Amino acid sequence: MQIPTTNGQADALVAFPDDGERHPGVLMYADAFGIRTALREMADELAGHGYYVLAPNFFYRQGPTPLVELPAHIGEEARPAIVAQLMPLIEAHTAERALSDADAYLAFLTSQPEVGPGPVAVTGYCIGGLLATRTAVARPDLVAALAAFHAPVAADGFESLRHLAAEVHFGHAATDLTPADLGELNQALDAAGVHGSSEIYPGTVHGFTMSDTDAFDPAALRRHWERLLPLLARTLTER
């Protein structure tokens, strides 16, 4: 699938129920490792619950997926070299680029014949969680649900979160956020009137949702689905 943007064509993964019906749309941002088997499995799982899932290659300016060669399992020995290749792409993906792309992704998502009318959700993992948060902040008119996992959701400052209209769930890795940090973030969310939940997943490390990494935690992935699916049901399918 190709998404037209102001800077070219972004290749993307799509997954949706093959039943001829229209379904709520979900924009899914991958982690920095991008579109691969582990992410396809997550998109397929979500589609199986009745959603149209769009997962773009947000590094499309540098080329189509895969931009770097990934092993079947991204172990700790291989990770530093892979991250070193990806860091220049991450640094080049400015907030301005991210927001321009977000408009293109949302326009594409909402125009698909398999996507029903109404609001959409955005989800994201690692850097994708930050991109999902930026998208929800920029488009409160369209985004009704935001879920981000092991992500620097406050990287743009607490003030930016005041613009959120979506119901949120932030699932943090225990190695990414201290309880004191979590308390500060949650106080900022409360002060901004943001509805939802924000919690540390016990015993987890950064990347806990990704089944092809050493960080993977099956129990935490189940918890992720237990938080994500009810959020989508409340905000999208019950309207």
Name the one residue in this structure whose structure tokens are 């939802």.
Answer: 196
- Residues ≥6 apart with Cβ < 8 Å to 221: 208, 209, 211
The Cα 121–Cα 129 span in angstroms is 12
Please give the biggest Cα pair distance in the chain.
Answer: 48
Residues 205 and 209: their CA atoms lie apart, in Å, by 10
Contact, 196 vs 169, CB < 8 A? yes
C-alpha neighbours within 13 Å on the C-beta side of residue 84? 5
Which member of 23, 93, 172, 206 is catalytic?
Answer: 206
Q: State which H helix or E strand residue 230 sits in.
A: helix 218-232
- What does DSSP say about strands 52-56 and 8-15: parallel, antiparallel, or unpaired? antiparallel
Are 51 and 82 in contact, with CB atoms under 8 Å apart? no
150 noted as active-site residue: no
- Does residue 176 carry a catalytic annotation? yes
Active-site residue 217, yes or no? no
The Cα–Cα gap between 228 and 230 comes to 6
What letter would DSSP give residue 157? -
From the list 93, 169, 172, 176, the catalytic residue is 176
The catalytic residue among 23, 31, 101, 126 is 126
Q: Which residues are catalytic?
A: 126, 176, 206
